[in-house]
Every structure is written in structure tokens, then in C-alpha cells.
């Protein structure tokens, strides 16, 4: 099978397309022929070793001290089951599926192995393979933070900083679906798009500092690491919550205590990955409550170009890489 691997951290050019043996599923595993995957912000961070402030060396034990621990990137995919182990009962050959290897990676390849009870679920017919691949990373992260950790509810006044990446757009849609009122921090070019999604108010970060305004929010969500506790605290109501999806090391270590002393809450840490969360977001997408947003699509042979585009920091939603063309 073809796959993209890397042996050192750096720009997109560290990636190489290689040919590897196709893996064989064990008794309770499924082999999936990948139809589409994405280049996520996690892929960018791990490939380039671009970490939030203070997390550079702290993150290395997990991803590799002197070189990548896992040479094949790719956090999410959609595809078709190609082969199953002899004890698999949940899937059959030919089933269309959505998978979320997440931190385990491995989706930048033609085939991938997952346990049948792992983070893999049936793909709804209403989603194309490209849409399905664009769903898990952003939506699962947003769902875990907003629903499981922060318990966002109807009527909450929510500000989302970094509202147009895959995680940010999922935060916007899930918060709106649950009845919150959303204010989105974004660039001028994305304001109309966000209003179409149902966002009440947008703030152009190039013109206005949301933290310098007198408006207070029940919840502030930072998906890009530019709204730390020191900046956001005065924009939170008493009892309000700051969700640090991406943040600096000092907030991860001391933020919760500092927030409690101020009568507020700071929630940070790694988003939980599970099959249950994946199924929840797939169900939301199947009902139309959550729509995967695709910025650009690239063929598999242009994986490096897809990484280059993500490196610009200007993507809106997901960047999809197609391995199998879908019928028109």
C-alpha cells in the first residue's frame, strides 16, 4: 500500500510517499480501504513540532524525543471495510465506515487497521466520503469540551475564539444546536459565512479585542491559543467557564486554580477520544445538526501540497485528501 511517512520534524517536504506491506487484520480487527482523510491541525503540529508556548519539550515524550514515534500521520478517515478478522461480528466487508484513530494516527495511507470495538462507526448515506472524513477530529473535540466537560446549555452566552477551523466550526454548530447564543471571533472574510450558520455576532480580531470590551460571557472557548486566562478572565461572568482547547503550559498547570480563586472555571487538557463520542457527532451530522465544512480537497498524490495549505493557517474547516474519487 502507499502511505506518507516522515522521519524528522519540519516543513511539509519532510513527508515521503512510500510503499509498505498491506496490514492483515487479526481476529477482532477490521482492515479499511481509506477513501478520504484530512490534514488536521494535529497533523500540522506533530509534523512541524509546533506546540503552544511552554509545551515544546513537554510534548516530545508523547510524539518522539528525537524523531517521530509514529511515522504515518492522519487522525481521521472514511472508507470501506476491505477485510475482517475471523471473530469480527460488528462489520462486514463492503461496509462504509468513519474512523477516528486520533492520537494513534495512521490515516495517511491507503489502508488502516482498527479493532472492531474501536473508534469506527457506520457512515450515514447522507454524508459523502469527503464529508465523513472531515467530521471526527473537529467535532469530537468540540463535543467532548462543550457537552461532556462544560455542559453548555440553552441560553448560555458563548464566545468562540478561533471559530473557523475544524474544531471552531464544530464548536459553533454544537453550541447553536444546544440553544446557546454564539459570538465568533474571526477574520473579516469569514463574518458572512458565520452569520449564515446562525452566529449572532462576529468580532473581527484585526479590528477589535474582545477582552477589552465590556461584554461578559458565560463561556469563552479558545481553539487557537490566543485567549489565555490572563486575557480572557475579565470577559467572563462570575461563575463563567474558559475552555482552553489550545493553550500555554502555565494555564494547563495553574489555570484551574487561578480561575477558582476568581470565582470562575478553567477547563483544559486533552479531549477524550471514544467510540461513543464519535457516534454522537456522526448522529448529529446525519440529522443535519452538524455540517462538516470542507475548505479544499487534494488528491492523495498531492499530500504535501495539502500540508502546505494547512501551514498557511488560513483554512476554513477541514482540508480533505482523497484517495478514491467519488461518483458525481
The mean pLDDT of 259-286, rounded to a whole number, is 96
Dist. CA 49–CA 51, nearest whole Å: 6
Q: Using the Cα atoms of residue 3, residue 7, residue 12 and residue 16 in order, give the sign of their dihedral.
A: negative
Mean pLDDT of the chain: 94
Residue 76, CA distances (Å) to 79, 117, 199, 249 in order? 10, 16, 27, 26
The residues near 160 (Cβ < 8 Å, ≥ 6 apart) are: 168, 171, 172, 175, 182, 183, 184, 185, 220, 221, 223
Return the closest-CA partner of residue 221 out of 198, 240, 201. Answer: 240
For residue 277, CA distances in Å to 87, 106, 141, 214, 251 come to 25, 20, 9, 36, 26
CA atoms of 188 and 15, how far apart (whole Å): 33
Domains of the chain: 2-135+292-322 (3.90.180.10), 137-268 (3.40.50.720)
Instruction: Go through 172-197 and write b for each residue having 16 or more CB atoms within 10 A of its CB, e for each that does not.
Output: bbbbbbbebbbbbbbeeebbebbeee
The label of the residue with cell 477516528 reads: 100
- Would you say the pTM of this structure is higher than 0.85? yes
Q: Tens digit of pLDDT for each residue in 222-237?
A: 999 999 999 999 999 9
Q: What pLDDT digit, counting tens, does each position of 150-184 carry?
A: 999 999 999 999 999 999 999 999 999 999 999 99
pLDDT at residue 328, as a whole number: 54
Amino acid at each position: 500500500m502507499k502511505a506518507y511517512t516522515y522521519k524528522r520534524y519540519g516543513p511539509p517536504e519532510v513527508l515521503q510517499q512510500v510503499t509498505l506491506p498491506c496490514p492483515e487484520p487479526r481476529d477482532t480487527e477490521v482492515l479499511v480501504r481509506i477513501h478520504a482523510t484530512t490534514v488536521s491541525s494535529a497533523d500540522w503540529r506533530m509534523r512541524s513540532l509546533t506546540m503552544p508556548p511552554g509545551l515544546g519539550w513537554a510534548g516530545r515524550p508523547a510524539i518522539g524525543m528525537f524523531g517521530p514515534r509514529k511515522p504515518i500521520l492522519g487522525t481521521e478517515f472514511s472508507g470501506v471495510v476491505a477485510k475482517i478478522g475471523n471473530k469480527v461480528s460488528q462489520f462486514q466487508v463492503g461496509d462504509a465506515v468513519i474512523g477516528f484513530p486520533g492520537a494513534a494516527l495512521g490515516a495517511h495511507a491507503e489502508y488502516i487497521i482498527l479493532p472492531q470495538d474501536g473508534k469506527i462507526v457506520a457512515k450515514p448515506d447522507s454524508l459523502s466520503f469527503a464529508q465523513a472524513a472531515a467530521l471526527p477530529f473537529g467535532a469530537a473535540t468540540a463535543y467532548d469540551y462543550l457537552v461532556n466537560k462544560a455542559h453548555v446549555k440553552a441560553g448560555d452566552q458563548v464566545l468562540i475564539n478561533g471559530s473557523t477551523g475544524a474544531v471552531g466550526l464544530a464548536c459553533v454548530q454544537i453550541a447553536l444546536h444546544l440553544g446557546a447564543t454564539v459570538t465568533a471571533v474571526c477574520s473579516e472574510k469569514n463574518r458572512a459565512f458565520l452569520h449564515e450558520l446562525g452566529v449572532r455576532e462576529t468580532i473581527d480580531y484585526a479590528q477589535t479585542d474582545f477582552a477589552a470590551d465590556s461584554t461578559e460571557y458565560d463561556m469563552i472557548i479558545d481553539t487557537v491559543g490566543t485567549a489565555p486566562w490572563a486575557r480572557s478572565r475579565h470577559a467572563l461572568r462570575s461563575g463563567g467557564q474558559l475552555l482552553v482547547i489550545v493553550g500555554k503550559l502555565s494555564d494547563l498547570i495553574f489555570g484551574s486554580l487561578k480561575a477558582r480563586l476568581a470565582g470562575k472555571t478553567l477547563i483544559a487538557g486533552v479531549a477524550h477520544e471514544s467510540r461513543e463520542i464519535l457516534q454522537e457527532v456522526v448522529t448529529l451530522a446525519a440529522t443535519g445538526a452538524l455540517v462538516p465544512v470542507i475548505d479544499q480537497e487534494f488528491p492523495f498524490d498531492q499530500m504535501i501540497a495539502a500540508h502546505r495549505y494547512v501551514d498557511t493557517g488560513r483554512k476554513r474547516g477541514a482540508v480533505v485528501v482523497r484517495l478514491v474519487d467519488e461518483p458525481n
